[in-house]
Structure 1
Amino acid sequence: MTDIGTTGTAAGDEPPRTALVFPGQGAQKAGMGQAWRDTASWPLVAEISEHTGTDVEELLLKADDETLRRTDLAQIAVFTTEVLAHREAEAAGLLGEVVACAGHSLGEYTALYAAGAVPLAETARLVAARGRAMRACAERSPGTMAAVVRLGPEVVRTLVARVQEDGGQVWIANVNAPGAIVVSGTAEAVDRLAGLAVESEGKVIRLAVGGAFHSPLMAAAADELREALAAVRFAAAHTPVVANTDARPYASGEHWRDLELSQLTSPVRWEECVRTLAGELGCVRFVELGPGRQLTGMIRRIVDGALTVPVESAAALAKLTAPEPR
């Protein structure tokens, strides 16, 4: 379980099969753009601002944590930093032999961009539309999310079913890694599940999110996003992207409208996505592009011996690509 720079090979060896992975909403923090402010890719911020109708530079450099908790703004901010990280890592020659991409929730949109499935302008507009739809839906159908740790998926499914049998609206929203599951639903139902989890020797951590994401309570958001997705030109062929909803790799654009609509109301099967990348697609090196190292930690828990390359800042990238001392 190693953080590794460049390509991780000795001279003459085959380059390792690499997956690019992108984190989702929740990775944002105040001042997150400072890490990329002095890079050659920074003008992309103005470009994304134009496409989204949002002052992204203001978001990345001056917005406080409270502002960045707003769903639509958080998604644009995280997406932009991921695009910057991808462009800079590509220019530095860090990416290597990329055989597949994947992203966690929002990060799936950056994965589609990096895979060549959607141009930057259309991806940015789609991210903005998604954020607006999710925020509006959450205001109409309030909800919350919570992480359930120290319990396996079968136990959590049983507890969810118990709450549902009593009329509670709660569902599994993310299966992130062994013992790391997130539930989503109304505040009352999540509280009831939290009590049951503690009785089963689990632990529940409430998440500071703006709604019950990846649950049926987001159905109205899917309806609103449908029109925006219909206007997008997906590439006929692209680098495979492993989808959140079914953990299957897709290399053609024909599937993504339905997959992204389903993603809003279905669980993110991240653990299975990583197993598909490592198993079926043979990826041994995982480059995480964006703020924080959340996915790196999950991947290490899922794949024994995974080579992980977190790229969260220009400084980290410079360190990863610096020539080795002789």
Structure 2
Amino acid sequence: MVKRAFTFPGQGSQAVGMGKELASTYPEARAVFQEVDEALGQRLSAIMFEGSDDELRLTENAQPALMAVSLAVIRVLESKGVRLADHAAYVAGHSLGEYSALCAAGTFSVADTARLLKIRGQAMQKAVPVGHGAMAALLGLDVATAREVAAEAAQGEVCEMANDNAPGQAVISGAVGAIERAVDIAKAKGAKRALLLPVSAPFHCSLMQPAADAMAAALAEVQMQAPVVPLVANVLAAPIQTPADIRQRLVEQVTGVVRWTESVAWLAGAGGVTHLVELGTGKVLTGLAKRIDANLVANAIGTPADIDAFVAELNA
């Protein structure tokens, strides 16, 4: 029996041109982009469709932009009679993708989600002065070894596990000196590759505490409904569904580890999920899914052709 979870991509999946074909093909997609522009008081859609890569990569732009494309796909699917609650048993999102997942599942409005992600992006950027923090990918090491590398490299500075993306793909985050030391230590411990990532801030580590405080304040003010299906939370790798629990875990997520490997393993195991459907820009999560559990069927829906194929599959 087919049992699906819908997943939503995180930062790094953005690309100039994202959402443009959806907007030119579907009025429902155009409406989402317009709603996000109005909520933010900026022409984010112009940056997405034909802006500069540097401008789009800014955290405060990339986060709401990725959400907007994911929600545009959801709204188009709804216009074709495909409701999330009928076809997904769970939702999950990678970091900021949790907000997209929750918006898709009815917890937040599109406008509120856009504003929350703008605040989140700005707060994350402001938490650490540019050039003081860094992140690095450690490829070919298991999680336990990646944690050892981070601990050894810290030397009194922050150096922590940030993302467990797939077996052999860990990301660490912290003070720039500690992260640079960790790259050398990781290579000495047998990492296939250890490289600094082109990010503007050290996400998912304790240096982000000011951003977590900002999100606690913002989330306390926003209207929330229980999602129509449970969210498998990054920090728990387990399902949650009450607004109070969701609020708490979204705050913890700013400084906490994105436990993506465990989240996907939970979906495929206890969750009984057979198919992962990635909604939005890119195919990063689809690639990770196959590395986490080879038995999962994973596909990405981000273009009009993808949408048509998915609707045809459901109606077959």
TM-score by length of 2: 0.92
Q: Please state how far the C-alpha of 1:163 moved relative to its aligned partner.
A: 1.5
Check 1:237–1:192 CA distance in 2 against 1; reply closer, same or farther (3 A cut).
closer
Q: Kindly indicate whether residue 75 of structure 2 is the aligned counterpart of residue 87 of structure 1.
A: yes
Relative to structure 1, the CA distance from residue 32 to residue 236 in structure 2 (aligned partners, 3 Å threshold; closer, same or farther) is closer
> Residue 169 of structure 1 aligns with which residue?
158
**Aligned counterpart, 1:312:** 302
Distance 2:57 2:121 in 1: 12
Q: For residues 205-241 of structure 1, give each alpha carbon's deviation from its aligned partner in whole angstroms, at most 9, with x where no partner exists.
A: 2211110000001011111222211111221463100
Give the 3 Å change call, closer, same or farther, for CA 93–158 of structure 1 in structure 2.
same
Q: 1:235 to 1:141 in 2, by over 3 A?
A: farther
Equivalent residues in 2 for 1:179-198 (5 A)? 179-198=168-187
For residues 265 and 185 of structure 2, what CA distance do their matches in structure 1 show? 30
Aligned-pair CA distance for 1:124: 1.8
Is 2:30 aligned against 1:40?
Answer: no
Displacement of 1:147: 0.8
Distance, in Å, in 1 between the alignment partners of 2:53 and 2:130 is 23
- SS of equivalent to 1:139: coil
**How much has 1:141 moved relative to structure 2?**
8.1
In the other structure, the counterpart of 2:194 is: 204
Equivalent residue for 2:4?
18
Q: Could you list the per-position Cα deviations for residues 149-178 of structure 1 after superposition, in whole angstroms to 9, with x for gaps in the alignment? A: 0111111111111112x2232111000110
Mapped contact 2:164–2:260 kept (Cα < 8 A) = yes
Query: 2:41 aligned with 1:53, yes or no?
Result: yes
Return the letter of the residue paired with 1:40: P
SS in 1 for 2:89: strand
C-alpha spacing 1:301/1:131, structure 2 compared with 1 (3 Å): same
Larger proportion of helix = 2
**Pairing 1:125-144 to 2, within 5 Å after superposition:** 125-139=115-129, 142-144=132-134
Secondary structure of the 2:19 match is helix
For residues 194-214 of structure 1, give each alpha carbon's deviation from its aligned partner in whole angstroms, at most 9, with x where no partner exists: 001111221112211110000
Mapped contact 2:105–2:227 kept (Cα < 8 A): no
The answer to whether the Cα contact below 8 Å between 2:35 and 2:110 also exists between their aligned partners in 1 is: no
Among 44, 62, 67, the alignment partner of 2:50 is: 62
Q: Which one is further off, 292-301 or 234-243?
A: 234-243
1:302 and 2:292 matched? yes
Q: What does residue 250 of structure 1 align with?
A: 240
Q: 1:121 aligns with which of 108, 111, 114?
A: 111
Native 8 Å contact 2:133 2:174 kept in 1: yes
Aligned partner (choices 78, 84, 91) of residue 101 of structure 1: 91
Give me the whole-angstrom Cα distance separating, in 2, the residues matched to 1:35 and 1:80.
13
SS in 2 for 1:275: helix
Contact 2:211–2:254, Cα closer than 8 Å, also in 1: yes
Deviation at 1:266, TM superposition (A): 0.7
Identity %: 35
Provide the residue aligned with 1:157 in structure 2: 147
TM-score, normalised with respect to structure 1 = 0.90
| 2:105/2:228 contact within 8 Å kept | yes
Provide the rounded CA distance (Å) in 2 between the counterparts of 1:51 and 1:138. 26
How big is the shift at 1:270? 0.5
1:31 maps to which residue?
17
Moved more, 48-57 or 23-32: 48-57
| 2:267 aligned residue | 277
- Which amino acid in the other structure matches residue 46 of structure 1? Q
Q: Check conservation: 1:168, 1:189, Cα contact below 8 A.
A: yes
Q: Secondary structure at the match of 1:301?
A: helix
Aligned length: 310
Q: CA deviation at 1:90?
A: 3.5
> Do the aligned residues in 2 keep the contact of 1:138 with 1:210 (CA within 8 Å)?
no
Q: Secondary structure at the match of 1:122?
A: helix
**Mapping 1:213-292, distance limit 5 Å:** 213-236=203-226, 238-292=228-282
The amino acid across from 2:15 in the alignment is K
Instruction: From the superposition, tell whether residues 200 and 129 of structure 1 become closer, same or farther in structure 2 (CA, over 3 Å).
Output: same
Separation in 1, partners of 2:129, 2:305: 39
Q: Deviations over 1:88-146 (max 9, x none)?
A: 23334566521100000000001111122222222222112111111211337831111
Contact 1:236–1:254 under 8 Å retained in 2: no
